[in-house]
């Protein structure tokens, strides 16, 4: 009879997991005497709705009131608490049971060590003495859990020692060690350990394969990654395991083999959101944004639901392409599906609208963000700076500081860019010093570039040159290029000639450097020198890099390169452009000198 009552109570509780029903069942347990059945109490606690604070408190009260607790009940409580938002509470339960004389067994410590790993407690050694005390230090189950917990805390040397001292090692032991090396950013040791594991004849499962593929990707070891891929294909399981398929795609992407990553992705019979996100992120990272957006379209057609990472990546692709219609559609998708706009997604939306030329829409999105962190502030400040609204950018920077938000390196790029575009030389110098001494941020190449651009635009060429000379790192060609452009504007031909020749020496295959120097000689009427530069360019076989642009029409992105005839509407496009040029000539809009260069411009655009 009691057995039937127990089963009925558990069935009722599973179907109605609320605190009121729990109290009613508790009353029946007390009146019927079931409260003393520790095995039933263990099963009852395992079904408890620990996600609610009130239920959690009641469960702890019920657990502490048990008269004769045992190890099984302790393990049940730890296991139940380990899946809650506060798993570390189980450590207090363990301490309480030890005070009552309840001892652990070989199942207790793996549960506790798992809790320690989940709770990010950096001291798993606190239980090592307990493990030794109860003679469980050579239990394989316990040692495997200890290797995993210790490696998660960052103590790989101790984890390796525990592993080496194990008289018996199984697949879980090896996998815990390999995964520990991966998590502690030591992929080389992970790869070496995998080779040892294979040499020992140990069986390998999907978890091991996923860890070692991650190690190969981290180290950029494509040869090893391909070997592991081939090894797994030979097992005959790759055709159905999406978990391994995702790891293979990610490995190839991180090794720089985008074609292989796409091939692995296409061969997957089943793809989840992780699969789609991995390949989309790969294409965005390799600046193949058009392909990334096409993949996103296929993902939606495949009825896969994108997550925050997917949406952030495709918004970044839209921003780089200037694909406003695509970006707006993604924004509408977010609103239509009530996707929570977290910090990363909100920043991506602001950045997309700003880079697509819609700064007012970017501001509107920024104002409606539930949380504005430094990344969102930086995105809108940079957007305003690039849109030629330096005053508003600096005003927002002031508001950001007043709100107690600490600026980062990206924020100061926007601030310095705003000063450069606004000609605020004194403000730019002040903010540059504030960055270094007020917020202790070390300026990088981009910040020095902004300062050189600021000083150069304002005509402070000697000061810009002095700043370049005092940089703690070697100046990049772009920094020299900014100063060179200013030499052209301010007719500082002697300095410009020196910088131009320096740029050609640094980038002998960069066609733009030759063209700019030749233009400088032409403007300063040094025709022989200009001809010499063009001849030098021809002798070295330096070819002009074709220009290209993207145009978005009706949600589709069209790419055009200089002298490219591949577009299916090429003949119609050139016919319309020729007619436009003809109409402009009739209207007298071009001088003769402009007419000779205009067709070249049309071909490039």
Q: Are residues 547 and 450 in the same domain?
A: yes
How many domains in the chain? 3
Tell me: do 500 and 549 sit in the same domain. Answer: yes
512 shares a domain with 454: yes
Count other C-beta atoms under 10 Å from residue 479's C-beta: 23
Reported pTM: 0.74
- What is the pLDDT of the chain when averaged over all its residues? 83
Task: Check residue 116 and give its pLDDT.
Answer: 81
Kindly report the CATH number assigned to the domain that includes residue 544: 1.25.40.10
Regarding whether 593 and 538 lie in a shared domain, the answer is no
342, 372 contact by CB (below 8 A): no
Residues 314 and 351 in one domain: yes
Same domain, 478 and 532: yes
DSSP-derived letter for residue 407 is P
| 456 and 550 assigned to the same domain | yes
What pLDDT sits at residue 563? 59
Out of 339, 358, 377, pick the residue that ends a domain. Answer: 358
Asked if residue 592 and residue 533 are part of one domain, the reply reads no
DSSP letters of 208-244? HHHHHHHHHHHHT-HHHHHHHHHHHHHTT-TTT-HHH
pLDDT value of position 82: 77
With a cut of 70, which residues of the chain have pLDDT below it?
1-21, 25, 35-36, 45-56, 119-124, 236-240, 539-540, 542-567, 588-605
Structural domain including 453 reads 444-559
Q: What is the pLDDT of residue 602?
A: 30
- pLDDT of the residue at 528: 81
Residue where one domain finishes, among candidates 329, 358, 387? 358
Res 46: pLDDT: 65
Alpha-carbon torsion 237, 241, 243, 249, what sign?
positive
Query: How many of the other CB atoms lie within 10 Å of CB of 96?
Result: 16
Provide the β-strand partners of residue 69: none
CA distance 316 to 285: 10
- 588's enclosing H/E stretch is none
Check the CA dihedral 153-158-163-165 and report its sign.
Answer: negative
CA distance 405 to 398: 10
Question: Is 320 a domain residue?
Answer: yes
- Domain shared by 503 and 567, yes or no: no
- Which of 358, 376, 399 is where one domain is finished? 358
Residue 496 placed within a domain? yes
Whether residues 494 and 507 fall in one domain: yes
Q: Burial, 130: exposed, middle or buried (Cβ in 10 Å; 0-12, 13-18, 19+)? A: middle
**Looking up tokens 């609610």, which residue turns up?**
52
Residues 450 and 536 in one domain: yes
């Amino acid at each position: 009879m009691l057995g039937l009552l127990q089963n009925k109570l558990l069935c009722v509780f599973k179907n109605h997991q609320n605190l009121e029903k729990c109290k009613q069942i508790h009353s029946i347990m007390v009146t019927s005497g079931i409260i003393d059945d520790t095995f039933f109490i263990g099963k009852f606690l395992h079904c408890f709705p620990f996600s609610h604070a009130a239920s959690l408190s009641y469960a702890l009260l019920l657990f502490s009131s048990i008269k004769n607790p045992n190890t099984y009940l302790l393990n049940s409580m730890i296991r139940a608490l380990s899946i809650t938002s506060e798993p570390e509470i189980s450590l207090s339960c363990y301490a309480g049971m030890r005070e009552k004389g309840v001892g652990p067994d070989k199942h207790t410590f793996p549960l506790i060590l798992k809790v320690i790993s989940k709770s990010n407690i950096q001291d798993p050694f606190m239980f090592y003495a307990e493990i030794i005390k109860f003679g469980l230090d050579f239990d394989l189950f316990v040692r495997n859990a200890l290797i995993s917990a210790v490696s998660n805390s960052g103590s790989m040397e101790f984890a390796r020692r525990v592993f080496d001292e194990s008289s018996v090692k199984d697949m879980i032991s090896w996998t815990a060690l390999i995964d520990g090396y991966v998590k502690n950013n030591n992929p080389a040791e992970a790869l070496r350990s995998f080779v040892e594991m294979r040499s020992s004849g140990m069986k390998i499962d999907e978890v091991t394969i996923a860890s070692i593929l991650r190690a190969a990707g981290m180290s950029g070891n494509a040869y090893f990654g391909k070997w592991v891929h081939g090894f797994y294909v030979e097992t005959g399981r790759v055709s159905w395991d999406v978990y391994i398929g995702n790891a293979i795609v990610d490995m190839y992407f991180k090794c720089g083999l985008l074609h292989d990553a796409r091939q692995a992705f296409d061969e997957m019979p089943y793809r989840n959101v992780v699969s789609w996100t991995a390949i989309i992120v790969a294409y965005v990272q390799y600046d193949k944004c058009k392909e990334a957006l096409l993949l996103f379209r296929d993902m939606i057609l495949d009825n896969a639901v994108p997550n925050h990472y997917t949406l952030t990546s495709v918004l970044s692709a839209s921003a780089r392409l200037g694909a406003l219609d695509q970006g707006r559609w993604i924004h509408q998708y977010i609103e239509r599906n009530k996707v929570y706009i977290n910090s990363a997604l909100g920043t991506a939306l602001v950045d997309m609208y700003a880079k697509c030329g819609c700064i007012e829409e970017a501001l509107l999105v920024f104002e409606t963000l539930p949380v504005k962190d430094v990344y969102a502030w930086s995105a809108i400040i940079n957007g305003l700076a690039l849109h030629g609204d330096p005053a508003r950018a600096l005003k927002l920077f002031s508001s950001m500081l007043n709100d107690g938000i600490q600026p980062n390196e990206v924020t100061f790029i926007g601030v310095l860019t705003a000063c450069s575009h606004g000609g605020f030389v004194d403000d730019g110098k002040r903010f540059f010093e504030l960055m270094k001494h007020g917020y202790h941020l070390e300026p990088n190449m981009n910040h020095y570039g902004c300062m050189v651009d600021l000083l150069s635009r304002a005509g402070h060429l000697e000061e810009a040159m002095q700043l370049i000379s005092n940089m703690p790192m070697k100046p990049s060609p772009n920094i020299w290029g900014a100063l060179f452009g200013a030499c052209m504007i301010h007719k500082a031909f002697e300095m410009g000639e020196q910088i131009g020749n320096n740029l050609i020496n640094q980038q002998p295959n960069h066609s733009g450097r030759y063209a700019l120097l030749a233009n400088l000689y032409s403007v300063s009427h040094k025709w022989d020198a200009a001809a010499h530069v063009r001849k030098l360019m021809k002798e070295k076989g330096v070819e002009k890099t074709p220009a290209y642009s993207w145009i978005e029409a009706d949600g589709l992105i069209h790419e055009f390169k200089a002298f490219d005839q591949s577009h299916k509407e090429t003949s119609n496009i050139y016919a319309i452009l020729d007619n436009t040029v003809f109409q402009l000539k009739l209207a007298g809009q071009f001088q003769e000198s402009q007419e000779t260069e205009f067709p070249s411009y049309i071909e490039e655009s």
